[in-house]
Amino acid sequence: MSDKWLVLKFGGTSVAGRPQWEAISALARGRRESGYRVLLVCSAVAGVTDLLTALSGQPESPQLRKKLLDRHLALAAELGVEEDTWLAEAVQLVDRRLARLAGADTPEHRAGLLSLGEWLSTRIGQRFLAGQMHAGWVDAREALEAAPEPDLSESRQWLEADCRPGKDPDLVHDWCNRPPVLVTQGFIARMPGGSTALLGRGGSDTSAALFAGRLEAERLEIWTDVPGLFSADPRLLENARLLREVTYAEALEMAAGGAKVVHPRCIRAAAETSTPVVICDVSRPEFRGTVIGATASNGQGIKTVPCKKSMAVMLLQNLDARRQVGFLAAVFDVFRQRGISVDQVATSETTTTVALDRALNHLTEQEMRHLESDLSALCTVKSFADCVCVNLVGRGACTALGRLQPMLACFSEAPLLMASQSANDLCLSLLVRHEDHERILRAAHQALIPPPDLPGGDCFGETWQQWVAQS
């Protein structure tokens, strides 16, 4: 039997019902017929992680507990999966995790509860597939161990854990002795002590890339409800164009800049092991979506304008900053002590401007106030909490400046809080207030991306509007 692997990842909407699992079954069967072993990495059913989050705040709520179990009993019934040992095991596991959280609301116990969505979806899904093919289930924690970072906050240690990418020959040998189609959870890993940690936002993508590296997979296929990466968020711009090929570096900037289809840590993990990534649409499996790899046949130029929301901008004013040796070191030590990662920095004679990703850092309003209080001992602090970073991404990004003239008038009414250029010349970032970002996005896209009536060469494909019409 072949020991060549493919890793296929499916998100929450792609595991939500029988039509979706029938599609997964067909894809797994097709890959097996092509001679591959297949690992299916699955998210929680759409909406379940939100339900678990609500339950984590009310661990003694019988209504939320019942809603969680009923949702999965309904899925099992739809798939024709009998209430065998999985149900008793599920009830026991849910109740144990809820009791722990009710006893002590800690990040560790929250992580344990929030991981249950993936456990439930994959246990049910594997039973459905086993009725159609030789398919088994493996616990993701067998292969993925978190690598704690001492400077991160306790919350991020458990809820935004990192795993080191790399090959694992022992795992390959072990899993090649198991069924040729395996189902496992995305989003989770184990701490060195054995407890469950989460990989944070985009964790299932990241898991899939890590698995692909461990197994030396030929490629990673991310199956979703869109055909690939686009030149902008198609929910905001219907004329956003499909990107055919991008490099790891470009995709990483896109993902870090707010593109939602794939997470930056997923791209980073894939790049570390040179695993090609293909974005695929479950509704049109025959269509070749975006390919992400070490090289791309298209050349320089801006390819996409992603937006990253939930940003905060802090203006740190100190008239003597240039003369005070160690001022910036003291400022960044405040962020370090609070376990906060800084997204972007700009300095002037009197002001240091810092941009923070509030979602990444789990920054609540209260934590923002504490941070402002700590920094006020060093300087005068002014904050803008609801900001958006509009990113211009592509090779030779700095050359785009000459093409931005048509959009500059936007800033007469939409103040630019911060501008930043990446050191690798792949991204120009414009930080603006939330209420201004859509018109900035539209103006930048119009100035930089070829319109639909012009050929896109090897770079640009159909617009979102054209894609919907074809579907």
pLDDT at 298: 65
**CATH-assigned architecture of domain 307-448:** 2-Layer Sandwich (3.30)
pLDDT tens-place string over residues 295-309: 876 666 889 999 999
Mean pLDDT of the chain: 90
Between the CA atoms of 266, 271, 277 and 279, what dihedral angle is there, to the nearest 10 degrees? 50
pLDDT at 413: 79
The fourth-level CATH superfamily of domain 5-224 is Acetylglutamate kinase-like (3.40.1160.10)
Contact 122, 204 (CB under 8 A): no
The two tokens of residue 13 are 């909407």
Q: Cα-flanking dihedrals φ and ψ of residue 228, to 5°?
A: 160, -160
Q: Say if residue 199's pLDDT is above 80.
A: yes
In 107-240, which ranges are E strands? 135-137, 181-185, 188-190, 196-198, 219-224
The whole-angstrom separation of Cα 46 and Cα 54 is 14
3-class SS at 323?
coil
Where are the domain boundaries for CATH 3.30.2130.10 in the chain? 307-448
Q: What is the mean pLDDT of residues 130-147?
A: 96
Between the CA atoms of 67, 73, 74 and 78, what dihedral angle is there, to the nearest 10 degrees? 160
The whole-angstrom separation of Cα 160 and Cα 51 is 19
* Other Cβ atoms closer than 10 A to 58: 14
Contact 273, 212 (CB under 8 A): yes
The whole-angstrom separation of Cα 285 and Cα 303 is 24
Q: What is the mean pLDDT of residues 266-275?
A: 94
